[in-house]
Amino acid sequence: MASQLDENKRWKGVFTLLNRNGPFAQEGFTPDSKDSQKLKNYLRALENDRGDPNCKILVIGAGGLGCELLKDLALSGFRDIHVIDMDTIDISNLNRQFLFRKTDVGKPKAECAARFINSRVPGVNVTPHFCKIQDKDDSFYQQFNIVISGLDSIMARRYINSVLVGLVSKDDDGDIIPDTLIPFIDGGTEGFKGQARIVLPQLTACFECAMDLFPPRTSFQICTLANTPRLPEHCIEYARLLRWDKDKPFVNAKGEVEKPDMDNIDHLRWIYEIALKRAEEFDIKGVTMLSAKGVVKNIIPAIASTNAIVAALCANEAFKIVTYTADTLNNYMMYTGDQGLYTLTFEKDKKEDCLACSGVEQVLTREVDLKQTLNEFIDDLKADPILQFSAPSVNRTEPPMTIYMPKPPSMEAKLRPNLDKPMSAFCEDGTQLTMTDPMMKGVAVIIRIKAKDPLA
Amino acid sequence: MEDVEKKLSKDKVDKYDRQLRLWGAHGQAALENAHICLLNATATGTEILKNLVLPGIGRFTIIDGAKVSEEDLGNNFFVSQPDIGRSRAEVTSELLREMNEWVQGTHIAQDPNELIANQLSSFSQYTLVIATNLPTSSLLPLSEFLYSNHIPLVVSRAYGFVGYLRNVVPEHCIFETKPDNPLDDLRLTNPFPSLATYCGTWDLRQKSEGGNLDSHLHSHIPYIVILYQSLIEYRKNNPTFNPTPKTEAEKAEFIKIVTRHSTGEDKNFEEATDAARTHIYPGYRLPDDLTDVLNDDKASASSTPTSNYWIIAQAMKQYVDEEGKTVPVKGSVPDMTADTNSYVSLTEIYYQKSRQDIAKVLGYVRKYEKQANRAEGSVTDEEVERACKSVRDWKVVRYRSIKEEYETPDKDSLEMSVDVGENGPWYVALRAVDRFYEKEKRYPGDVEENVEGDLAKMVEIGKALEEELLRVDEESGEQKRVPDLEKVLREMIRVGGVELHNIGAVLGGVGAQEVIKLLTKQWVPMSNTFIFNGMNCTTNTYVF
C-alpha cells in the first residue's frame, strides 16, 4: 500500500524546504537535488547506495507530550522512531492523549501509541519499549541521533540527562567527538505553561545546569498538620502522613501493612473520610473527594493545547537539527498562555560547576549540626535546591566507610540503624562524604562537612 | 473548587479530571454548549479542532470543498491513505469525531468561498468560527458579518516556518480573568464593622508585658489582627501623617508599631511586616480594568443591557456607588500563621460579609433584570456569586475588526513591530502573500519556473505595503521601511505556499487555547495578532 504513494507529492511541504535554499537556512545547508537526495534519505532513514547514515530518533514518554511528539515527528518525515514508556493507560489520560481510546485503558502506552501512528501514517515505523528508562543500557541510547523527552518528572529528566552527558567522549585534544554527542530536546507542561529546550550535552547548558529553574516543592510543616490545621489541604495531608502510620488501615495477605497507594480507590476513600472528620472537628470547609485526590496525588492540571504547542516546538527543532533548513532554538523557550500569549526565548548558560556536565567531580560544602541524625541530614539534601536528591547513598571518603545505601534491600537493612545515629558518629568538621543518587547516572557529589558552631 | 461531581456524570468527571481542575463545571458547560465552524480542513485547521474535540466542545461543522490529496497525507493527521479522493471535510470530520464520543461533528463539502459569497447568513448558527487559508476576498466579508453579529472569529495560517493567529470579536467580557497573583482584599485600611470588632478584642501584649495570651497563642495571632491594631495606633499617634504610610519615615514608624510586641522570632509578626506592603501602604483602591468596566456607558443605570454581563455590571456600579466606592469582599482568607480557632473565626467573618455583599448585589441585579424586561432569575444566582467573588479581576476587551485593520492601519503598532528583533516583518510578508494570491490566484514561488519572476512581483507588493502601513519619517522625509524586507520575502518565495505540520500543530495548540478562553470567558485572550517565528523560535503579539 505504502509503495503506491507518490512520496514527492506526499512530502511536498517538507521536500520543498529540503530542495530550496533560503536566507534563513543554516550555514552549510546544501539543498537536495535530483541527483543528490542526501537530506531526504537521512530524514526518512532510507537505505541508499551512497552509504549515508540513517536517522533514528527516540521519544521518551508516550503520554501527553509523547503522543503529540510521535504524530509531529511522523508528519515531519521521520520514519525510524522509537518510544519508551513504563506506564499503562488511565481514563484520565484520554482528555489529551489522543492515540488512546476507552478500550485501551490498562494497556501499555508505548505499544498503543506505536500501533496507532503506524496505522495512520504509511511507511513510518514506530518501535515501542514498555519499560523504564533505567532498564535500557548505554548501547541502547547510543544508537539514536536525537533524543526527545516528554516526561512528567524532574527525576526522570535528570536521569536521562546524565546518561546522555555520560555518553559524550572527547579526543586527546579535549575536543568532543561529534558522533558521541546526541542532541537532547526536552519539553514540559503544566496547565497553561510550558517550556522547550535544546541540550547539546557537554557543549551547552544541560538539564542539570538549569535545576535552579525548578525549586523543590514545599510541603506543609508537621506542626501545622498535627496541631493547627487551617486549610482542607492540612486535613488531607494529616490523614495521609500522620494517621496512616498510626492506624495502619490496610494489611495485605502476608500480614504486611500496606503503604498508601493513591491509585487504590479504597486507600483514597479512607484518607478522604479521615480528612473530612478532622475538618469537621476544626470547622474547616472544603474537603471533597476531588480535592483529596488532587492533594495526595499531587495532580497537575493538563490540557491538550499546551502539550500540542510544546511538543510541536520540540519536533520542529528536531527537524531543523537534522535538515539544517533553518536555524535552531538557542536554547530555552518558556511559554505561558493564560493571560494573553507570552513566550520568552533565551540562552541558558552552561554552569561551570554543574553536577552532571562540568566533567569534574563537584565538592560542595554544607554546614551541618553534628548532633542531627543521618536521616535529618539526608532530608536536608533532598530539600536542597541544587541537589534535590531522591534516595542517596552515603559513603565516607577517608577513612572509607559505607554509611547508608537504599539498595539492595539486604544492605539497606544492615545499614538502616545508621539513619538514627548522630552525624558525629561518622564525621567531624572537614570530613568528605561521597554521595550518589539513582537519579543521576555516573555522577558522584562530594559533600565537605563544615560543623555548625553550636554556640553561634 | 466547585462541586463538579454534582454537575457532571461520573464518566465525564473521570475523563475530564485534569481539565476540570482548570475551568470547573461552568467552564465545561460553556464548551459543551458551543458549535464551532472550521473553514478549510488544513493541517492547521484540523490541529486546532483536535485540541477542542479532546476537551469536549459540543459540536463542530467543517466546511471544505477540497478532496483528500496525497499532499494532505504528508501534513494532516486526520486523513488516511484509503481516503484519497474523498471529500476532505467528510474524512477529517470522521477522524476528529472518533476521538471523543461526546462530541457531535458534521461537514459541508463545499468551497467556503462559495458559501461566503452566496450564503453568508448561514454563519449565524455558529458560536465561533475558525478560518484557515482564506483569501482576503472571502475573509473580509466573512469577518464583517461575524463582527456585526458578535460571533468571535479566529483566523490562522501556517506558512513555511511562520505561524499567524488573529482574534476578532467586537467585545469580550470577562469576570474571571484569573490573574497569576490575585490580590487578597483584606479591607484593613477601611475595615467593615464585624472585622473591626473582632480585631479590636485582641490584646497583642506578651504575657511578660501584662498580656493574657500564652506564648503559643501569642505567636499565632493572625497578622490581620496585628495589622488592624497597628494601623489604628499609627493613625491615632500621627494625625498629620498620611492615613496609610507612604514615605519611608512613615513606613518605618508603622513597622515599629507592628513589631513592638514581637519576641523577635515570631513568624506571625514577620508575616505582618511583609503583608504591610500589599495590604496597608497602597490603601484601598479599585483596579483600573474594573473601573473602566463600571464607567463604561453600558454599565450606566439607564442603558439597555445587551447581555447578563452588563446587567451584573449595572448592579455592581450601583453597589459601588452606594457602599462608599468599595466592592464585595471575596469571602476567603489567605493562609497565615494562626491557631485554628482564630483562623476559622476570621474566615467566617469575611465569609459572612461576602454573603451580605452578594445579597445586596443580587437585589440590584433583579432590579436591572426587571428594568430590561428580562425574566426574573435569567441571570442566575451562581453567575452573580462568581462575578462578585472575582470582582477585582473584571476586564472587557474590544478587538478591532479585520476591516479596520486593513483600512485604517495602526501605524504606531506597525512601526514598533518592525523594530530590530521583532517579528512584525513576517506579518507584512504574509500580507504580501495574500495580495499576491488575490492577483495571481496562486502562491508565489509555487513552482521552480516562477521563482525569479515572483520575487520581483513580491518586492513591488512589499514596497506598496510599506507605504500603506508605515509613515514617512518626519526628519528625513523618507518613507519608513521594513528592515530586511527583501530577505523575508525571499523566504516566502522559498516556501511556495506549503504548510508544515509542526507549525500547524503549534498554531493548533495556541488557537484552541484562544478559543477555549473565548468560550469559557476565563483567563484573558490574546490581543490581537500572534506571530510565531519557527526559525529562531520566538513569538510576538501585536495590536493591529
CB–CB contact A13 B491 (8 Å): no
Cis peptide before A408 (omega within 30 of 0): yes
| Preferred mutation among A303, A322, A335, A348 to probe B, highest tally of B CBs within 10 A | A303
Cα-to-chain-centroid distance, residue B259: 41
Q: Which residues on A lie below 8 Å from B55 (Cβ)?
A: 95-96, 303-304
Backbone torsions φ then ψ of A185, nearest 5 degrees: -105, 130
In angstroms, the first-to-last Cα distance of chain A is: 78
Q: Which residues on A lie below 8 Å from B159 (Cβ)?
A: none
Q: Which residues on A lie below 8 Å from B343 (Cβ)?
A: 228, 230
| Preferred mutation among A296, A341, A348 to probe B, highest tally of B CBs within 10 A | A341
Which is more confident, A219 or B336? Answer: B336
Burial class (CB in 10 A: 0-12, 13-18, 19+), A259: exposed
CA atoms lying within 13 Å on the CB side of residue A119: 6
Tell me what pLDDT residue A384 has. 86
Alpha-carbon span B366 to A433, nearest angstrom: 72
Tell me what pLDDT residue A50 has. 53
CB–CB contact A1 B80 (8 Å): no
Q: State yes or no: pLDDT of A57 exceeds 50.
A: yes
Smallest Cα distance from B380 to chain A, Å: 23
Report CA Rg, chain B: 29
Smallest Cα distance from B342 to chain A, Å: 9
Residue B535 near residue B75 (C-beta atoms within 8 A): no
Q: State yes or no: pLDDT of A102 exceeds 70.
A: yes
Q: State yes or no: pLDDT of A49 exceeds 60.
A: no
CB–CB contact A71 B77 (8 Å): yes
Alpha-carbon span A445 to A397, nearest angstrom: 11
Among the listed residues A400, A394, A385, the one whose alpha carbon sits nearest the alpha carbon of residue A355: A385
Smallest Cα distance from B376 to chain A, Å: 31
Which tens digits make up the pLDDT trace of A321-353?
Answer: 999 999 999 999 999 999 999 999 999 999 988
Q: Could you report the predicted ipTM of this complex, rounded to two decimals? A: 0.95
DSSP A242: I
Backbone torsions φ then ψ of A128, nearest 5 degrees: -90, 150
**Which B residues, 220 through 239, put their C-beta within 8 Å of a C-beta on chain A?**
220
- Under the banding of pLDDT at 50, 70 and 90, the label for residue A41 is confident
**Which A residues, 283 through 322, put their C-beta within 8 Å of a C-beta on chain B?**
283-284, 288-291, 293-294, 299-313, 315-317, 319-320
Alpha helix positions (H), B16-166: 17-32, 43-53, 70-73, 88-97, 112-118, 136-148
In angstroms, the first-to-last Cα distance of chain B is: 38
CB–CB contact B18 A230 (8 Å): no
Cis peptide before A301 (omega within 30 of 0): no
Alpha-carbon span B445 to B492, nearest angstrom: 8
Q: Which helix (H) or strand (E) holds B163?
A: strand B162-168
Residue A35 near residue A58 (C-beta atoms within 8 A): no
Burial A179-211 (b: 16+ CB within 10 A, else e): ebbbbbbbbbbebbbbbbbbbbbbebbbbbbbb
Alpha-carbon span B183 to B179, nearest angstrom: 9
Q: What angle do CA B494, B500, B501 make, to 5 degrees?
A: 175
Q: What would the grid cell of residue A418 be?
A: 545508621
Tell me what pLDDT residue A398 has. 84
What does the mean pLDDT of chain A come to?
91
Tell me what pLDDT residue A319 has. 96
Q: Which residues on A lie below 8 Å from B506 (Cβ)?
A: 308-309, 312-313, 316
- Under the banding of pLDDT at 50, 70 and 90, the label for residue A1 is very low
Burial class (CB in 10 A: 0-12, 13-18, 19+), B58: middle
Q: Which of B15, B503, B510 sits opposite A316 (nearest CB)?
A: B503
Q: State yes or no: pLDDT of A48 exceeds 70.
A: no
Alpha-carbon span A32 to A225, nearest angstrom: 65
| C-beta neighbour count of A456 within 10 angstroms | 5
Alpha-carbon span B114 to B154, nearest angstrom: 20
| Torsion angle (degrees, nearest 10) of CA A83, A88, A94, A96 | -30
Residue numbers of A annotated as active site: 223
Residue the block writes with cell 528536531 = A318
Which is more confident, B114 or A251? Answer: B114
- Under the banding of pLDDT at 50, 70 and 90, the label for residue A414 is very high
Q: Which residues on B lie below 8 Å from A317 (Cβ)?
A: 537
Mean pLDDT, 10 residues at a time, chain B of 544 residues: 78 93 95 98 98 98 98 97 97 97 97 98 98 98 98 98 97 96 90 96 91 92 96 87 86 94 92 95 94 97 95 98 95 91 94 97 97 94 96 97 97 96 97 97 95 96 97 94 96 97 98 98 97 97 97
Q: Which residues pair with A128 in a beta bridge?
A: A83
Question: Does the CB of A82 have a partner CB in chain B at under 8 Å?
Answer: no
Tell me what pLDDT residue B373 has. 94
